[in-house]
């Protein structure tokens, strides 16, 4: 039995089928760079829905098992601009031996593995939405699925994507903990910063006078850095410290790694400079040295509120009785990288919670609404461009 919404296609999304599909896909083991089993499942499932599949060679850059998957569906009207939906095939940890539990409308693991809702929830929803579109018989333009690998390790698959294989220019990525209805139109710039602090190693009993403790230098630098929430647009963190050989050896070298995120490129650069100068002053004060390197992770994006993607998703959400709201996030996603490479896309909430932990969960309501909103978006995109 279908539910009647303003979106006919969304009415055909079947809750029971989608939940079972999600559980089936969540159990497929596919941690970052080891997504071959997930790809094999999709190679079987997607052609049955009319998709033509191609893989790129992104995995060769990081010794992965399989590349990004691009799937093309011609739709019923090829005069409509194609629309893509993207997500990642990998999970942050294995889901092998996953035992899902459903309690009071929430899907959990049994606490011994992650659930993998990040982002098998989107993957399952896309498949069920296309089944619903076909069953409903609503006309639609071409649909493209852009399914990346090795996203959890730092958006790696998207960085090495063969963008010549993608035909669409506009799309959506369901990949956020916000409930369905969340529309993220702005994401941050992000860079890593690495410090190699050098003092002088020495034995505490044999030649301590020759020692210059690199840990002390690094500590001085850390204490004079601005870290945490710098302002409402900027975050900074030091998350890695490596160094030392033995408890009896004054350490001569220590390596630190950190990250800065900001909606403003100018603020990002200013914060990186502040951190670098803080460590350089400490090294000078204690007669040591420091080598600093900065690694760009991804660029920020900001889609205008008047963009057709935003207007389309607001209307589509209303058509399935979901309240839409526009926001921004300092979290990174494939959205950053795809926008950087000339595609226009926004991140949408699909409601998974406590990701990257054994407490991960997703409500059936959010899962089903992800499928419904996907179907409603396809339908609304057609109606917008057919006028």
- Residues assigned a catalytic role: 90, 151
Cα 252 to Cα 244: distance, rounded to the nearest angstrom: 7
Q: Report residue 29 as tokens.
A: 């083991």
In contact, 91 and 22? CB cutoff 8 Å: no
Tell me phi and psi for residue 172, to 5 degrees.
-130, 150
Burial grade of 81 (CB within 10 A; 0-12, 13-18, 19 or more)? middle
Q: Report residue 185 as tokens.
A: 């139109």
Where would I find the H helices in 71-152? 117-136
């Amino acid at each position: 039995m279908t539910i009647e919404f303003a979106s006919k296609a969304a009415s055909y999304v079947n809750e029971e089928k989608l939940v079972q599909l999600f559980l089936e896909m969540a159990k497929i083991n596919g941690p970052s760079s080891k997504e071959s089993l997930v790809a094999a499942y999709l190679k079987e499932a997607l052609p049955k829905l009319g998709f033509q599949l191609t893989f790129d060679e992104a995995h060769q850059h990081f010794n992965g098992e399989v590349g990004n998957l691009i799937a093309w569906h011609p739709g019923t009207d090829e005069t409509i601009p194609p629309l893509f939906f993207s997500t990642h095939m990998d999970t942050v940890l294995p889901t092998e031996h996953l035992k899902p539990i459903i309690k009071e409308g929430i899907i959990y693991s049994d606490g011994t593995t992650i659930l993998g809702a990040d982002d098998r929830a989107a993957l399952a929803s896309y498949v069920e939405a296309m089944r619903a579109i076909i069953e409903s018989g609503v006309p639609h333009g071409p649909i493209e699925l852009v399914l990346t690998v090795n996203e959890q390790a730092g958006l790696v698959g998207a960085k090495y994507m063969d963008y010549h294989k993608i035909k669409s220019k506009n799309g959506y990525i369901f990949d956020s903990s916000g409930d369905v209805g969340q529309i993220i139109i702005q994401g941050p710039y992000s860079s890593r910063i690495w410090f190699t602090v050098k003092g002088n190693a020495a034995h505490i009993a044999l030649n301590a006078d020759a020692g210059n403790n690199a840990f002390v230098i690094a500590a001085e630098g850390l204490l004079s850095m601005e870290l945490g929430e710098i302002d409402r647009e900027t975050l900074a963190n030091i998350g890695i410290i490596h160094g030392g050989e033995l408890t009896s050896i004054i350490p001569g070298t220590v390596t630190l790694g950190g990250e800065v995120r900001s909606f403003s490129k100018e603020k990002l650069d200013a914060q990186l400079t502040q951190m670098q100068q803080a460590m350089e002053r400490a090294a000078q004060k204690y007669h040591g040295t420091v080598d600093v390197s900065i690694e760009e992770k991804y660029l920020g994006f900001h889609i205008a509120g008047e963009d057709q993607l935003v207007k389309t998703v607001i209307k589509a959400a209303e058509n399935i009785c979901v309240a839409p709201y526009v926001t921004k996030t300092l979290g990174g996603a494939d959205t950053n990288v795809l926008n950087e490479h000339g595609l226009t896309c926004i991140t949408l909430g699909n409601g998974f919670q406590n990701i990257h932990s054994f407490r991960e969960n997703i409500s059936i309501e959010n899962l089903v609404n992800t499928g419904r909103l996907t179907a409603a978006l396809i339908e609304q995109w057609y109606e917008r461009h057919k006028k």
